[in-house]
């Protein structure tokens, strides 16, 4: 298995409305094929290919001293010379 290098990481508390606005902006930038991620001391420019793999997960994790933590993750991956072989529909 290959080594993973984290090039950019961000975790910010936001309201549901702010999360929605951020995801809309991200969707527009993905559609345009270019995305720049920026925060103090870190910036990365991404040129996105026309074909990517979209992975969507919903998880529930029981915490010892807290209630169950839920997460919904959307990950985009791309590889040289490959294309996605399935699709999911958001409803």
In a domain, 84, yes or no: no
Residue 30 placed within a domain: yes
Look up the domain containing 70 and give its range.
16-77
Work out how many domains the chain is built from and give that number.
1
In angstroms, the CA 34 to CA 47 distance is 5
- For 15-69, the pLDDT digits (tens) are 999 999 999 999 999 999 888 999 898 899 988 888 898 999 999 999 888 889 9
- State residue 2's pLDDT score: 83
In a domain, 21, yes or no: yes
Beta strands in 1-91 (DSSP E): 34-39, 42-47, 53-62, 68-77
Q: What is the pLDDT of residue 59?
A: 95
In a domain, 3, yes or no: no
């Amino acid at each position: 298995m290959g080594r993973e290098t984290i090039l950019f990481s961000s975790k910010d508390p936001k309201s549901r409305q702010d999360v929605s606005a951020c995801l809309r902006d991200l969707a527009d930038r993905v559609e345009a094929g270019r995305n720049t991620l920026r925060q103090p001391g870190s910036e990365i420019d991404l040129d996105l290919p026309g074909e990517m793999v979209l992975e969507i997960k919903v998880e529930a994790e029981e915490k010892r001293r807290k209630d169950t933590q839920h997460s919904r993750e959307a990950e985009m991956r791309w590889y040289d010379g490959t294309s996605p072989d399935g699709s999911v529909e958001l409803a």
